[in-house]
Chains A and B, each alone.
Chain A
Amino acid sequence: MVCTTNLYAQDDLLNELSQQDSSGRVPVTATFKSTRVVNGHSVETMKKKHLDFRISHRFGRLNSGAYQFFGLDQATMRMGFEYGVTDDLMVGVGRSTSQKVYDFFGKYKVLKQSSGAGSIPVSVTLFGGTGVATVNKELEFQDKLYYSAQVLIARKFGERLSLQLSPTYLFRNRPETRGDEKLLLAVGIGGRYKLSKRVSLNGEYFYTAREKNTPTAPYYDSMSFGVDIETGGHVFQLHFTNSLGMIEKQFIGETAGTWGKGDIHYGFNISRTFSFDKKNKRPKSIEQ
């Protein structure tokens, strides 16, 4: 009798510990590896006092032939500095070479998907952005502006699969072509599937509520596929997309290429995270 008690006593101690563990609400983390699905924003935000320095490139069209080295001769890029003000709120600025746009945005996590007691089925993040396209000096300042807003709703279905729905509002004070309306409503659907711990397959499609490829507004819906590769502090996103721009105004509103004709751009995002959390910078190193 005593003997059995002893045998199990150690495990009993462990059981005692697990019982006092309050199993409250556990937030689901890493729905996406990055703050972008491909072009569009994901529900993820930067953590407090963390800076994301991000460089994105899109090359010319693959169908432009060997003379243009299948698009690699032409590159447009966006450089961005994106910062976590709190764990739930981030702000960012960026500069795109295409149309010489300065863009500004904020993103706030409203709901976090959680498991356990009082679980929440989805994560919801609000996105708001604006930008100034400075390429045309003749224009009045307000005519260079656009505004975008999104409600990003995502759910992580298990370890590998995450899906996101992104209803989008886009308002251009002066659309690029006369046939285009100022207001454009769209809805994005995107997702990722993890192939391994560090590699995921991403896809994204934005449906725009307007007639496609009209003579005065020769635009299509944006569709992109990519691979996220994570290497320590970096995330590399490599992708193929029919959009040239990397901000909402451009990839949702002004996608001129179509997959059907092979108007596909190769592109990549490189994201490097820096922590400025001084308080936590160096927890005391281990002195033996």
Chain B
Amino acid sequence: MKLYFVRLVLVTMLATTLSFVQVLAQGNKFSTTSGVTRFSSETPLENINAENKKSQVILNSANGEIAIRMNMREFVFPNKLMQEHFNENYIESDKYPTATFSGKMDNAPDFSKDGQYDVSAKGKFTVHGVTKERTLKGKLKVEGEKITLSSNFEVPLTDHNIEVPQVVFVKIAQVIQVKADYVLTIRK
């Protein structure tokens, strides 16, 4: 009987701690499902641009953790044939439908104060099924319950096993420029 009581107390304590941790971890989450991610391949012969307006981002202000996810098929190209080739031949969207980043800001600002901050997040960056440890730099602006996050970074194709064949009429850069603009609002 006594043992049973001790167990009950222990379980109750554990449950309380867990829910407390959960509350802490929840903190304030900021998110969007309409983040804009653009990329461009620039060569002297041809510039190719594409845009994904449905990038999903979630940011936990309690600890500076951030996750980004986007469907590769949502990248829109001006030339639909290029879009088809992007999905079919380069990114292989059926096999690898998403690109993701999950990381943590090492210098997370105080999200309760308005202002603009330089931030960098270290974490796992996955494209074409290949995960790389990356530190991405960007700017973060806090305006009340709105957070604007922007970042420019580069993705070398070889890092992610994306092959560009020798004989292509369209020239594709070996390093792709990526620009992200995300406006996050507090998650209710």
With an 8 Å Cβ cutoff, the count of chain B residues facing the other chain is: 54
Choice from B40, B87, B170, B178 contacting A285 with Cβ under 8 Å: B40
Contact, CB under 8 Å: A280 / B78: yes
Chain A residues in 8 Å Cβ range of B168: 231-232
**Residues of chain B lying within 8 A (CB to CB) of residue A9:** 25, 60, 63, 65
Do B78 and A17 touch (CB < 8 A)?
no
Query: A13 CA to B121 CA in the complex, in Å?
Result: 15
Report whether over half of chain B's contact residues are helix, strand or loop; otherwise say mixed: strand
| Alpha-carbon distance A17/B66, docked complex (angstroms) | 11
Chain A residue numbers with a CB within 8 Å of B94 are 159
* Residues of chain B lying within 8 A (CB to CB) of residue A21: 56, 69, 71
**How distant is the Cα of A70 from the Cα of B165 in the complex, in angstroms?**
33
Asked, given contacts A47-B80, A280-B78, whether A230 binds B152 with beta carbons under 8 Å apart, the answer is no
A284–B49 Cα distance when bound, in Å, is: 8
User: Counting CB contacts under 8 A, is A216 at the interface?
Assistant: no
Within 261-288 of A, Cβ neighbours of B (below 8 Å) are at 273, 275, 277, 280-286, 288
Report B-chain residues with C-beta under 8 Å of the C-beta of A211. Answer: none
Let me know if B169 and A5 touch, CB within 8 A. Answer: no
Task: Flag whether B89 is at the interface (Cβ < 8 A).
Answer: yes
Q: What are 19 A-B interface contacts by the 8 Å CB criterion?
A: A10-B67, A10-B103, A13-B66, A14-B102, A17-B56, A21-B71, A26-B73, A30-B84, A47-B80, A47-B81, A197-B163, A198-B165, A231-B170, A232-B170, A233-B81, A233-B169, A283-B76, A286-B39, A286-B178
Pairs of residues from A and B, 7 with the lowest C-beta to C-beta distance, nearest first: A232-B170, A13-B67, A47-B80, A17-B69, A275-B79, A232-B169, A10-B102
